[in-house]
């Protein structure tokens, strides 16, 4: 895989059982790139390692006054330099390719998992963690995958050099063959502590990222309540924790680097001392001493890759662990899609709650618990957060439809929709049936003032559709964002549209017009609206009250207000005392002597107390 061939047609199925397994899976899936990098790495490192031999031959040729051997040494030196240059160039090219393609594979896997899980992802993993995995973590994972081949080439080179020195000069070769492995393994006892400190730093950095993400997302609310300084202080403390953890981690790596400098220096001292002793005795020549000394000095370069691979693994392991955690998440229900039939069109029914949304009607659902309403809305869309029986569309379980087909048939707009940055035209350019145009959807969602505000705030945008929207629509009010999101949902024109509190941030006059517009535009289509707004409820074809996870009442809004105290308590925000007082009064008027006797038993003073409390 080359960079120009990205993205992958299929990134594959990752082994997400653990971080190390995920790293191993990535390495195996880039075997061709790893072998290419290994080959160029061997050419580079072996060419560098052969330079001392060439220099030693040249020095000995000068001592012996041999012009032929000096010319031979010059030719070998030129060949080694050419191999060094070519190997280094293509090693760098192959390494960067492996780095980028590994990171791109992880990003594709994360994007696919995000699309697969939908809104359930942010309920199971913090948004800040998802951001950290998809940005900084993918680079660290790519670094380790790329560094494996260079480390392998360096390790093979050290083995080859030790073997060559044993053959070339056994007396000094033994010293080098024993000393180099000791240098390579000397820092192993420090690696567990360095890894723990690196993990702790990543943990602190992840918490700081989550806090920053939450603060930015709620900045408008924080300014409204004057809480900016409070959250700013929290972020300062989190940032300082990250700094302290990074300093402690850097100290350990500095110690490892110091050892990597100190021990090779000691080995060089030992080689020079012992070599000079052998040279005095006439057991080795000057050229051989120069060759062995230069070889040891050159070996500090490939030895650095032992430190790098240790650092890359310690930094990438927690990143891979976080990525594996996200990639191991599964939907609460299987969405394999055993049916390939055409999209069903009919009633939408939830067996778990008994909620029925008849085909072609506007059904309003009242639920006293907003969180329960959100979970039920997601169930109706085919992405439940908890296992349970599948929602049926025209008798067909959504779980048995391919995920793309289920999402085409049922569209869910949650209570906090996201507007992506770009022009309004790009925002409204979504998969759609083509039956609803942008102008119709914007009119139904009452976006006239929103369009005017966008044109006014965008330079050179005469057409409202060319006006730019900032990231997440932060330049717009909550009500304006809601209306644009509603227009986007209306344009898709799905068979079933589920709206969760679509007008919670809109004033009552606009809300009434939106209710009429949605009702008219969705004529003949199934629409489910989760709301407690009387304006929307009054314009629904049927209203369903869901209480404690089951359907408790069904009927028109005005009828339920008078007949069901639980419904009235949710819609009119009545207190328990007001509800009790209203029930007693109604029973006193509509019933006989038994109820009047209950009022007498209650007592006038207690009744007045209830009235005053209400």
What is the mean predicted confidence (pLDDT) over 479-508?
Answer: 91
Long-range Cβ contacts of 217-225 (<8 Å, 24+ apart): 217/127, 217/472, 219/474, 220/474, 220/478
For the stretch 42-66, pLDDT in tens is 999 999 988 888 888 888 888 888 8
The continuous run of DSSP H or E covering 56 comes out as helix 31-63
Neighbours of 333 (CB within 10 A): 19
* The pLDDT of residue 191: 78
pLDDT band at 414 (very low <50, low <70, confident <90, very high): confident
Range with the lowest mean pLDDT among 214-218, 320-324, 547-551? Answer: 214-218
Residue 16 clears pLDDT 80, i.e. is over it: yes
* The pLDDT of residue 397: 86
Residue 309 clears pLDDT 80, i.e. is over it: yes
Q: Residue 261 — φ and ψ, nearest 5°?
A: -90, -40
* The pLDDT of residue 306: 84
For the stretch 264-296, pLDDT in tens is 888 888 888 888 888 888 888 877 888 888 888
Q: Report the mean per-residue pLDDT for the chain.
A: 82
Residue 432 clears pLDDT 80, i.e. is over it: yes
Residue 331 clears pLDDT 80, i.e. is over it: no
pTM of the model: 0.67
What is the mean predicted confidence (pLDDT) over 429-448?
Answer: 89
- What 3 state SS string does 514-539 have? HHHHHHHHCCCCEEEEECCCHHHHHC
3-state secondary structure of 348: strand
The tokens describing 527, both together, are 């629409």
Burial 563-580 (b: 16+ CB within 10 A, else e): ebbbbbbbbeebeeebbe
**Highest mean pLDDT, choosing among 212-216, 284-288, 385-389:** 284-288
Q: ∠ at Cα 46 (42, 48), nearest 5°?
A: 125
- What 3 state SS string does 544-597 have? EEEECCEEEEEECHHHHHHHCHHHHHHHHCCCHHHHHHHHHHHHHHHCCHHHHH
Residue 35 clears pLDDT 90, i.e. is over it: yes
CA-to-CA separations, 384 to 121, 284, 356, 359, 417, in angstroms, rounded? 11, 78, 17, 22, 18
* The pLDDT of residue 611: 44
* The pLDDT of residue 313: 86
Please tell me which residue, 477 or 514, carries the higher pLDDT value.
Answer: 514
Please tell me which residue, 522 or 431, carries the higher pLDDT value.
Answer: 522
Are the beta carbons of 402 and 337 closer than 8 angstroms? Answer: yes
pLDDT band at 596 (very low <50, low <70, confident <90, very high): very low
pLDDT band at 614 (very low <50, low <70, confident <90, very high): very low
Cα 259 to its chain centre, rounded Å, is: 38
For the chain, what's the residue count? 614
The count of C-alpha atoms lying within 13 angstroms of the C-alpha of 590, restricted to the half-sphere facing its C-beta, is 8
For the stretch 553-578, pLDDT in tens is 999 999 999 899 899 888 887 655 55
Range with the lowest mean pLDDT among 92-96, 160-164, 278-282? Answer: 278-282
CA distance 47 to 50: 5
- Strand 526-530 to strand 496-500: parallel, antiparallel, or no bridges (unpaired)? parallel
Please tell me which residue, 271 or 100, carries the higher pLDDT value.
Answer: 100
What is the mean predicted confidence (pLDDT) over 93-112?
Answer: 91
* The pLDDT of residue 62: 86
CA-to-CA separations, 342 to 378, 405, 406, 409, 491, in angstroms, rounded? 22, 9, 11, 10, 21
CA distance 527 to 497: 5
Residue 613 clears pLDDT 70, i.e. is over it: no
């Amino acid at each position: 895989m080359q960079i120009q061939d990205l993205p992958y047609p299929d990134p594959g199925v990752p082994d997400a059982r653990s971080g190390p397994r995920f790293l191993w899976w990535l390495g195996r899936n880039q075997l061709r790139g790893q072998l290419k990098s290994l080959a160029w790495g061997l050419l580079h490192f072996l060419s560098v390692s052969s330079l001392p031999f060439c220099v030693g031959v040249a020095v000995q040729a000068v001592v012996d006054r041999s012009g032929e051997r000096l010319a031979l040494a010059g030719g070998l030196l030129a060949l080694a330099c050419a191999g060094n240059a070519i190997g280094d160039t293509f090693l760098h090219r192959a390494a960067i390719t492996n780095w980028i393609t590994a990171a791109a594979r992880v990003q594709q896997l994360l994007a696919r998992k995000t699309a697969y899980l939908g809104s359930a992802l942010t309920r199971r993993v913090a948004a800040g963690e998802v951001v950290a995995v998809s940005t900084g973590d993918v680079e660290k994972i790519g670094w380790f995958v790329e560094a494996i081949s260079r480390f392998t080439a360096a390790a093979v080179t050290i083995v080859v050099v030790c073997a060559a020195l044993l053959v070339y000069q056994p007396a000094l070769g033994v010293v080098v063959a024993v000393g180099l492995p000791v240098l390579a393994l000397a820092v192993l006892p420090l690696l567990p502590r360095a890894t723990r400190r690196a993990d702790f730093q990543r943990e602190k950095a992840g918490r700081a990222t989550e806090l920053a993400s939450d603060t930015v997302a709620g900045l408008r609310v924080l300014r409204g309540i004057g809480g900016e300084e409070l959250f700013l202080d929290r972020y300062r403390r989190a940032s300082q924790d990250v700094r302290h953890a990074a300093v402690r981690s850097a100290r350990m790596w500095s110690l490892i680097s110091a050892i990597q400098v100190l021990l090779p220096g000691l080995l060089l001292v030992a080689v020079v001392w012992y070599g000079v002793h052998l040279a005095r005795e006439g057991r080795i020549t000057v050229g051989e001493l120069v060759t062995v000394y230069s070889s040891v000095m050159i070996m500090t370069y490939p030895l650095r890759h032992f430190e790098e691979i240790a650092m890359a693994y310690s930094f990438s392991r927690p990143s891979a662990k976080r990525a594996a955690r996200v990639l191991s998440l599964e939907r609460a229900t299987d969405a394999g899609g055993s049916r390939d039939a055409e999209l069903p069109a009919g009633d939408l029914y939830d067996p778990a709650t008994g909620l029925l949304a008849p085909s072609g009607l506007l059904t309003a659902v009242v639920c006293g618990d907003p969180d329960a309403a959100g979970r039920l809305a997601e169930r109706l869309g085919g992405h439940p957060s908890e296992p349970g029986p599948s929602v049926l569309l025209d008798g067909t379980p959504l779980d048995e439809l391919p995920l793309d087909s289920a999402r085409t048939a049922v569209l869910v707009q949650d209570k906090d929709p996201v507007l992506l940055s770009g022009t309004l035209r790009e925002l409204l350019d979504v998969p759609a049936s083509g039956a609803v145009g942008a102008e119709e959807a914007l009119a139904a969602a009452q976006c006239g003032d929103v369009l005017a505000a966008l044109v006014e705030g965008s330079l050179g945008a005469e057409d409202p559709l060319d006006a730019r929207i900032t990231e997440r629509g932060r330049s717009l009010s909550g009500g304006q964002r809601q209306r644009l999101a509603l227009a986007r949902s209306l344009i898709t024109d799905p068979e079933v549209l589920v709206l969760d509190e679509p007008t919670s941030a809109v004033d009552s006059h606009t809300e009434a017009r939106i209710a009429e517009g949605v009702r008219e535009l969705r004529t003949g289509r199934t629409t489910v609206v989760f709301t407690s707004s009387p304006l929307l409820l009054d314009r629904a074809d049927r209203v369903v009250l869901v209480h404690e996870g089951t359907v408790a009442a069904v009927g028109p809004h005005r009828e339920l207000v008078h007949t069901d105290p639980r419904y009235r308590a949710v819609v009119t925000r009545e207190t328990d005392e007001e509800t009790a007082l209203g029930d007693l009064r109604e029973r006193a008027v509509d019933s006989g002597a038994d109820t009047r006797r209950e009022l007498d038993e209650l007592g006038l003073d207690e009744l007045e107390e209830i009235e005053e409390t209400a």
